[in-house]
Structure 1
Amino acid sequence: MKKELQYFKIEEAWGGSQEWFSDRMMRLGGCAAVTACDSCIFFDLYKGTDLYPFDRQKITKTEYMQFGMKMKPYLRPRWSGIDTLDIYMEGYGQFLADQGCRDIQMEPLSGEEPVEIAEKAVIGQIDKGFPVPCLTLRHRNPDYDMFEWHWFLLVGYEKQADKCMVKIVTYGKYFWVDLKGLWDTGHRRKGGLVLYHEKI
């Protein structure tokens, strides 16, 4: 069983990338803001919101970076990073409120939950047409180094007999990784998922 969300490209990139910004702090720690920006564009394209202030049918890196700087005050890069689910939800929630958007709600799913709970949540969200913001903190497996202390979106899954692969979009690219391996960081302090919902 496999499902991938229809996603968008920015020129030749899959979604945005913090590496595009000339602002030093956004390059170093803008992953949460980029995750929120990508979520906004996705919601505009597929959920009927009006959050991205430019042409969403032909997204350019220049305009995307301008949007990212608009998001920066809400998810301000800091030396400790946006290192909890609550900080992301508070910042992005305030952005949505300031834009008059009350259609999107959020709830956290802690990284301390068993992987079976996370897998069920990811599959449920993607089946409902929502990308899933994911926060990974430190990870003992070097295979996941590029996702350490990082926010990104999960936009697909492939359920196999004893494994669930997830599709990650980040840095303008996509990657398929084993959810169990990603989830089992080997550290006490965990990140987790943010689950989006449409307001009923």
Structure 2
Amino acid sequence: MQKELDYFMIEHSYGGNQEWFWDPMMKIGGCAAVTACDSSIYFDCYKGTEGLYPYEKTALTKKDYVKFGMKMKPYLKPRRTGIDSLDIYMDGFGKYLADKGCDAVHMEPLHGTEDADKAKSAVIDAIDRGVPVPCLILKHENPLFENYVWHWFLLTGYDTAGDSCMVKAVTYGESKWLDMDDLWNTGHDKKGGLILYK
């Protein structure tokens, strides 16, 4: 069984990319804000919310996206230790949603200390309900995941056709299929986790 969410292009990019920012803090540590920006655009484009993305939805541009990122920055401000917990993300993005008068989107945490089967079920449920899943990975012992370390990104699809559950990870304007068990089992005590949009 394979399912992928419809997703948006920004010019030639699959979603947003923090490397577009001229602001050095956003370029280095803006991944949580980018994840919230992409979620906002997704909700406006595909889930019927209005006004979460304040620019033209039918022709998304890098220029508008960078402006949007700077609007999101105060809510998910890059900091020395990064947005290194699910609560910080939910608090920041929750304030943005409230300021925009959006009460249709709610968030629940699924901590990285939960087992991989629970995480896989949660991702499958979310994709089946038509919403992306923000994911935070802190440390990881597998060098294959070095681009996802201390990083927020979105999961937008799953594939359970084989022996494993693959998930579609979206970050830096690209998507890649990753093994969920390998991604989840980081080998470190300090864990990230998932945000489940309801």
TM range (shorter): over 0.9
Secondary structure of the equivalent of 2:106? strand
Counterpart residue type for residue 162 of structure 1: D
Alignment of 1:16-55 (within 5 A): 16-50=16-50, 51-55=52-56
Alignment of 1:78-89 (within 5 A): 78-89=79-90
Q: CA RMSD in A?
A: 0.5
- CA shift, 1:160, in A, is 2.9
Counterpart residue type for residue 136 of structure 1: I
Superposed CA offset, 1:11-39 (max 9, x none): 00000011000000000000000000000
Provide the TM-score with structure 1 as the length reference.
0.98
Alignment of 1:130-169 (within 5 A): 130-169=131-170
Secondary structure of the equivalent of 1:78? coil
Counterpart residue type for residue 187 of structure 2: G
Alignment of 1:160-179 (within 5 A): 160-179=161-180
Count of equivalent residues: 197
Distance 2:133 2:189 in 1: 22
Aligned to 1:58: 59
Secondary structure of the equivalent of 1:104? coil
**Matched-pair identity in %:** 60
Counterpart residue type for residue 58 of structure 2: Q
Structure 1 stretch displaced more, 98-107 or 152-161: 152-161
Aligned to 1:186: 187
Provide the TM-score with structure 2 as the length reference.
0.99
Distance 1:143 1:116 in 2: 21
Unmatched 5+ residue regions in structure 2?
Answer: none
Distance 1:112 1:56 in 2: 37
Distance 2:84 2:161 in 1: 31
Superposed CA offset, 1:97-126 (max 9, x none): 000000000000000000000000000000
Aligned to 2:105: 104
Counterpart residue type for residue 101 of structure 1: C
